[in-house]
Amino acid sequence: MTQHRTERDSMGEVTIPADACWGAQTQRAVDNFPISGLLMPGSFIRSLGLIKAAAATV
């Protein structure tokens, strides 16, 4: 059996997996929006980092 915890925010209580590193609002998003399980390619993530680094130097 999976362990859960209950968190409360302005919208009420929500059940979250005990080992999750997020809170009630993120759990609501996970419950309400489909998540494909697909990951971004590493080259794409690196490209975003390079763009942000370049923008930070301007």
pLDDT digits (tens, 9 = 90+) for 14-39: 999 999 999 999 999 989 988 788 88
> Would you state the pLDDT for residue 1?
61
Q: Which domain holds residue 23?
A: 4-57
> Residue 56's pLDDT band (boundaries 50, 70, 90)?
very high
CA neighbor of 29 nearest in space, from 38, 42, 40, 20:
20
Q: pTM value?
A: 0.56
How many structural domains are present in the chain?
Answer: 1
